[in-house]
Chains A and B, each alone.
Chain A
Amino acid sequence: MSAALVRQSEAPLLQVEGLTTSIRVGGAWRDAVREVSFTVAGRETVALVGESGCGKSLTALSIMGLLAAKVGRVSAGRITVDGVDMVAASERQREAMRGDRVAMIFQEPMTSLNPVLTIGFQIGEALERHRGMSRKAARARAIELLERVRVPSAKARIDAYPHQFSGGMRQRVMIAMALACEPRVLIADEPTTALDVTIQAQVLALLAELQREVGLAILLITHNLGVVASVADRVLVMYGGDVVENAPVRSFFARPTHPYSEGLLKAMPRVDSAGELVAIPGHVPTLPDMPDGCRFQARCPLRIERCTERPPLAPLRADPAHEVRCWVRAS
């Protein structure tokens, strides 16, 4: 292991600074994630919120180094996982990090598991790869992991195939797989979206419990504000590749400040108010049509002339931990 992989324990476990990710659309490279910065410490959960196509998943894939080289690349910024610079690292070094110190669980537990390999093998594989365990030892550890994520009769089901599991159980298998090597950072991309509501709550509770136990830093990607309210410590709202609001979860729900965040919250059904749901008018522009300046300007009720100039992500005077990218609201 090279010197670059030596851990610096003081730093937050996940640090993203000025991350810009470009994707190729019709032959031209366009920035789909623009100068995104945030940190996640141990035992902390940061939620990345936004509509489909806002750049949440691209941010996650950039951190993991899983962008397909022909269509996506990190064009600027630094990503540090547990002290290791993932952008500067070679592909071999990134491979050594993935599944070991940074792991990821995906939205679709139905398709994210390999249908022709036993789940025991799929869980144990990372242990063989990163811990040099024998197949037998990895299998034994896989049984413990399955028990840990509360898959019933783990011993009997270790040699079963994914199609023999329900959606919720498969997501538990995914979690067991991701946590096999005790990573420091976990990226959960819509981990509960494909699940029934009751199962969602169980899976979230399990994640929170495992986080407390091993001190995981969790980056939770979701479009479900209910999930954010129940598990996150900090919220980042993304729109069109920009972080438009960055706030501790309490102040976000108390004072959603960016017009887009306000719109998101108004569009969320609530039990305690009889008010109507308000949709945000218009739709997210596609990348080639993305306006210069504030990317929300076309749909924004507060639009002023200055919005054609890109606003900075600026702290609120009343609450410096609460940042917003808006000319109108930041002043």
Chain B
Amino acid sequence: MLGFILKRLLLAIPTLVAVLTVVFVLVRVVPGDPTLVILGDQASGQARADLRAKLGIDRPIVVQYADFLGQVATGDLGRSLATNRPILDDVAHVLPYTIELTLAAIVIGVAIGVPLGVLAARRRDGVADWFARIVSLLGVSFPAFVSGILLLIVFAVQLRWFPVISTPRTSSVGDRLGSLVLPALNLGLLMVAYVTRVTRSGMLKALGEDYVRTARAKGMGGRVVVWRHALRNVLIPIVTVVGLYLGALIGNAVLTEIVFNRPGLGKLIVTALNQRDYNLLQGLMVVAAFGIILANVLTDITYGLVDPRVTAR
């Protein structure tokens, strides 16, 4: 198992380098001159040339690339063009918000999606199945900004169960959890949708498998057959879908953070885009890439935990 984990981690390195390269190229082919953004269109040619030299973007592209990789390797993401603050500080400030939001969304997705999917598969074409289908349809088809606003209107404005605006990190744990509920639910709805679908179809297949018949032939009751024998085999696609849609989750996190006015990576990305802050954007893409690759490695490791056949390969 330890060897398996080590192998997965080593395999992630080339992926990371490839992603960093893409990020580097992408930022440099985007139209627009950063010096124009910083100095404005009234600046003289001399001032802009000076700034280019200062930023190091007058050097050959290969040198810039090597420099970039070296910086990332030492954990330095450079400075923001707009504020001149170290990007890592900005990221470190908002990252916990995004992590807590994403984790909460995954927890909600699994905690609701798995039981709902199992129930739907057991009562195929029954009420629970229709309910599950509607929930997953709503989950994937409702844009996060619409569902977010609906949640706010109903639960924050009308019912006043939760705060409209998220509370700062300094407030008490209860307050922070309270302000997490609605955004997490909003983001989690998407996860619920995906997890319900994959659990339902996986369970329908698993319940028809020979090993389920074997378990029943041993006298195992319905509950044991479903939760122990069938669901264990469905864990693999569930883990896959959670890992896979982590990326989609980050996209929706942007909208959720804006609707709920929460600090987070998503909001920072929007800020960077609005200000044409290419350095910040590059740094954020690196962080996002790190996050997704880390999620993939974790997904692979989880495979090893839920399916004994994976580590054997």
Contacts and interface: CB of A to CB of B under 8 A. Distances in A.
Contact residues on B (Cβ < 8 Å of other chain), bracket = 20 to 34
Contacts of A100: 219
Interface in B199-228: 209-211, 213-221, 224, 228
A114 B217 contact: no
B213 A106 contact: yes
Nearest to B235: A116
B313 to A, nearest CB: 10
A115 B312 CA distance: 13
B218 A126 contact: yes
A11 to B, nearest CB: 22
Contacts of B228: 117
A236 B206 CA distance: 34
Given A97-B219, A129-B219, A163-B312, A66 B213 contact: yes
B312 to A, nearest CB: 7
Given A117-B229, A163-B309, A164-B312, A112 B210 contact: yes
A99 B218 contact: yes
A114 B233 contact: yes
B160 interface: no
Interface in B268-313: 306-309, 312
B219 A114 contact: no
Interface of B: prevailing SS: helix
A44 interface: no
Contact of A117 (B210, B232, B235, B312): B232
A178 B224 CA distance: 18
Contacts of A96: 219
Nearest to B233: A116
Contacts of A64: 217
Contacts of B210: 106, 108, 111-112
A56 to B, nearest CB: 16
Interface string B174-215: 000000000000000000000000000000000001110111
A95 interface: yes
Given A126-B219, A129-B220, A130-B219, A112 B213 contact: yes
Give the most central of B211, B213, B220: most A CB within 10 Å.
B211
Interface in B151-193: none
A113 B308 CA distance: 14
Contacts of B215: 114, 125
Contacts of A113: 211, 214
Contacts of A125: 215, 218, 220
B208 to A, nearest CB: 9
Given A114-B232, A115-B211, A116-B232, A98 B308 contact: no
A108 B216 CA distance: 16
B217 A161 contact: no
A177 interface: yes
Pairs of residues from A and B, 7 with the lowest C-beta to C-beta distance, nearest first: A99-B219, A99-B218, A98-B219, A111-B210, A114-B211, A161-B308, A112-B210
Interface of B: 209-211, 213-221, 224, 228-229, 232-233, 235, 306-309, 312
